[in-house]
Structure 1
Amino acid sequence: MSPVQYSIAVESDSRDAPHDAAAQADLATLRPLPRISIHAFCESDAMQRTMERMARDRRMAKVNMRVNNGSIEAAANMFASAPTPNLIIIETDAEPGHLLAELAPLAEVCDPSTRVIIVGRYNDIALYRDLIRNGISEYLVGPVQMPDMLASVATIFVDPDAEPLGKAIAFIGAKGGAGSSTVAHNCAFGISSLFSTETILADLDLPFGTANIDFDQDPAQGIAEAVFAPERLDEVFLDRLLTKCSEHLSLLAAPSILDRAYDYGGTAFQPVVEILQRSAPVAVLDLPHAWSEWTRSVLAEADEVVITAVPDLANLRNTKNMLDALRKLRPNDRLPHLVLNQVGMPKRPEIAPSDFMEALEIEPAAILPFDVQLFGNAANSGRMIAEVDAKSPAAETFSQICHIVTGRSELKKARKGGLTKMLGMLRRK
């Protein structure tokens, strides 16, 4: 099947935003769907909004989905003269005694391989059994929630025996010099050491990446070979490109030389991220401060996004713009985590953390105080903060971020300790 794209484009609707933590957790466990085609036929506005919201989900990136008005008759008329897609989703208010008869015209024009999901009005176990016995893949009682529909589609088309995908965590700075790479590298090290979890750190800033410097490594190969030779990319090839930094941490380093122009297409890093997710439980993606098709693509498809900002006006503006853009790119995922960095720098006018948070209407995952001695020593020695001073407030804060981005603790619980304590220290300065 040739590559396909969305056939609809809809503005984000805040009425359908998944603020429920349980729904977000359910979505987070779903694998991306394969390249399939789906036609949905909706009788109600609520069902149409649900389908449009599902089409925008990052797990549907490879799916060609069309949302239509109408029910069973509309579907039968459409496919009388056109091939049927891989999946048809139909909303109907037909009574149980009449539903099978109404489905007969559609059955006559459906290809044998086409699957069908029915969304009905009646919670009737006998009807469910009749539909399943007659070849319907699933029957859901409306109104159906988007996570439930997406899970039903995944049950049909995703191999239940496939190995689980690792978690991709993308780090990006609100402005150049915000310290996003430092946060990403320390979090990658923290995740690998705190949880004894195999972790891969991928430095996606090919011309100016610093991960090899921060870990005191000088690999001959790295991410450039993976990006510019995607046809060779598999687990074996990736393993040759990785550099071991510690027992559970491997580095896919940037070349950090300017021997070519580093221009990429919008999906240039997609094969790299996919192979990383198949190769390790956690992949930390260190993105440069840029807003292009490829960075948007990586941010849209990552499981978690972390924005690092320093407390000044330019960072505030950029963070707000990025949050607004990512709400549209990731409508069914939680908001990015915010790390406020370099707080309390002497003689520098800055926005108070509380005012920074209030303007964005978001609570930060962590606040890192300015500590030129500690961070300078770590950078110059090619070590992480936890290696230089494991008992420092910064090391404790990085541990907190690691717990949050991996889902090993709730943000509210973490905020009671490190964040509240940090705010109190800053106010006393």
Structure 2
Amino acid sequence: MTNLDYALEQETQSEQGQEAPVRGDFERIRPLPRISVHAFFETEGLAKTMERCAEDRRMAKVNLRINSGGVSAAANMFSASPTPNLLILETRADAQTLLAELGDLAGVCDPDTRVVIVGHVNDVALYRELVRNGVSEYIVAPVSMADVIGVISTIFVDPDAAPLGRSIAFVGAKGGVGSSTLAHNCAWSISSLFSSEVILADLDLAFGTANLNFDNDPTQGIAEAVYSPDRLDEVFLDRLLAKCSEHLSMLAAPSMLDRTYDFAGDAFLPILDIIQRNAPVSVLDVPHVWTDWTQKVLCAADEIVITATPDLANLRNTKNLFDTLRKLRPNDRPPLLILNQVGMAKRPEISPDVFCEPLETEPLAIIPFDAVLFGEAANSGLMIGESSAKSPVAESLSQIAHVVTGRAEVKKRRKAGLSSLIGLLGRK
């Protein structure tokens, strides 16, 4: 039975005064992952159903907002703000009007946002047309709490589906280039800019700094996960996560030297899988070491960001990483490059255009050296976007967040502009 057929049967039974059946085994639906959902209602029936959903234990990790209005109200709201992971839109419009409104919504919708339509017309032709236009599901009102949670579960918790989340691995071409700082700031920026749930995993168990940068010292973290893979599930993950902000959680490193941290090649893969199934975005802070497990973590990531400073050793290491990762990931796009700490006084540097030429890439961002800006933020346990929201560095971090989440492309830079920038930085 299709969702549309089920909804028609439910509607008929409701008119006859019978209690609608619960579709499937509602009690066995797994808890939903950390996603953001906006519901737009045109009838009080759907509003009350969504309010009941918000109280259900399976929705405990879901950031749900309930709004009055239909498809056009959603298009108006998101014309100036990012769309959530899922939109649930009620409509009483006819097919032609609905398709026109969805066209307007598509113009402001992020590419990864899923859409569920709650309609009041049982029309198979409309259902097929909506699916062809990218709508994830069309269900006919009235809908129950089991219907709503069941549909969300089908979209985001299907055990046969690919993991929900996009994983972004940050690694430094050399120690001390600021890869961890950029990873932490990028994770915060994604969660803040897009109101998207993000999990930051600090994989440098011995010397990780995420707990310091977020002024958060949890008693448990990623060490418990990697040493207890048999216990790893959604409930165990929740216990290990530390809350950093409204939409950002962290798997902190112990940052202790009471043991050595030698891992098998696949040690972190179960952790990455469970993280991806529980959050739309995961940011991986990978230490500057080359081992079997770091290689496999980088190979498994959806996006790789290499941070380098503009000197010869960094160029050599970055070239080696680019060449190796291109061979290991022939069907993925090459790593993204951030040039950091550019313009340090009295330090001979390689200009960005010369640095990038052998790599055959454009830099994702060029971050100037600013010891005061980064030092004050670190000492205060704040991100750059919190301590200096209007700074050029904060703007660069925003652009990085847009690119690594697939919302923008790397902009090509003119060489003359790069030379001018370096000249200005050198005169500081």
**TM-score if structure 2 supplies the norm length?**
0.61
1:425 to 407, 421, 427: 421
Partner of 2:364: 365
Describe the SS at the equivalent of 1:279: coil
Partner of 1:271: 270
CA distance in 1 between partners of 2:324 and 2:162 (Å): 32
Contact 1:367/1:422 (8 A) holds in 2: no
CA distance in 2 between partners of 1:222 and 1:416 (Å): 40
CA distance in 2 between partners of 1:319 and 1:204 (Å): 20
Offset at residue 230 of structure 1 (A): 0.2
Offset at residue 423 of structure 1 (A): 5.8
Structure 1 runs of 4+ with >4 Å offset: 158-161, 419-423
CA distance in 2 between partners of 1:159 and 1:208 (Å): 37
| Residue ranges of structure 2 left out of the alignment (5+ in a row) | 1-156
Task: Note if 1:238 corresponds to 2:234.
Answer: no
* Aligned positions of 1:203-352 closer than 5 A: 203-352=202-351
Q: Identical aligned pairs, as a percentage?
A: 68
Offset at residue 425 of structure 1 (A): 3.0
The Cα offsets for residues 64-114 of structure 1, whole Å up to 9 and x where unpaired, read as xxxxxxxxxxxxxxxxxxxxxxxxxxxxxxxxxxxxxxxxxxxxxxxxxxx
CA distance in 1 between partners of 2:162 and 2:357 (Å): 42
CA distance in 1 between partners of 2:165 and 2:346 (Å): 43
Q: Give the aligned CA root-mean-square deviation in angstroms.
A: 1.9
Contact 2:403/2:410 (8 A) holds in 1: yes
Contact 2:352/2:418 (8 A) holds in 1: no
Offset at residue 182 of structure 1 (A): 0.6
**TM-score if structure 1 supplies the norm length?**
0.61
Describe the SS at the equivalent of 2:357: helix
Contact 2:169/2:285 (8 A) holds in 1: yes
CA distance in 2 between partners of 1:390 and 1:423 (Å): 26
* Aligned positions of 1:143-222 closer than 5 A: 162=161, 164-222=163-221
Contact 2:307/2:340 (8 A) holds in 1: yes
Partner of 1:383: 382
Describe the SS at the equivalent of 2:183: helix
Q: Label 1:399 to 1:424 Cα distance change in 2 as closer, same or farther (>3 A).
A: farther
CA distance in 1 between partners of 2:159 and 2:257 (Å): 44
The Cα offsets for residues 107-158 of structure 1, whole Å up to 9 and x where unpaired, read as xxxxxxxxxxxxxxxxxxxxxxxxxxxxxxxxxxxxxxxxxxxxxxxxxxx9
Partner of 1:60: none
Describe the SS at the equivalent of 1:194: helix
Partner of 1:139: none
CA distance in 2 between partners of 1:262 and 1:254 (Å): 11
Contact 2:353/2:418 (8 A) holds in 1: no
Offset at residue 162 of structure 1 (A): 3.7
CA distance in 1 between partners of 2:158 and 2:372 (Å): 51
Contact 1:200/1:276 (8 A) holds in 2: yes
Offset at residue 416 of structure 1 (A): 6.2
| Residue ranges of structure 1 left out of the alignment (5+ in a row) | 1-157
The Cα offsets for residues 24-83 of structure 1, whole Å up to 9 and x where unpaired, read as xxxxxxxxxxxxxxxxxxxxxxxxxxxxxxxxxxxxxxxxxxxxxxxxxxxxxxxxxxxx
CA distance in 2 between partners of 1:255 and 1:164 (Å): 27
Q: Label 1:411 to 1:420 Cα distance change in 2 as closer, same or farther (>3 A).
A: farther
Offset at residue 359 of structure 1 (A): 2.6
CA distance in 1 between partners of 2:259 and 2:178 (Å): 26
Describe the SS at the equivalent of 1:398: helix
CA distance in 1 between partners of 2:219 and 2:422 (Å): 43
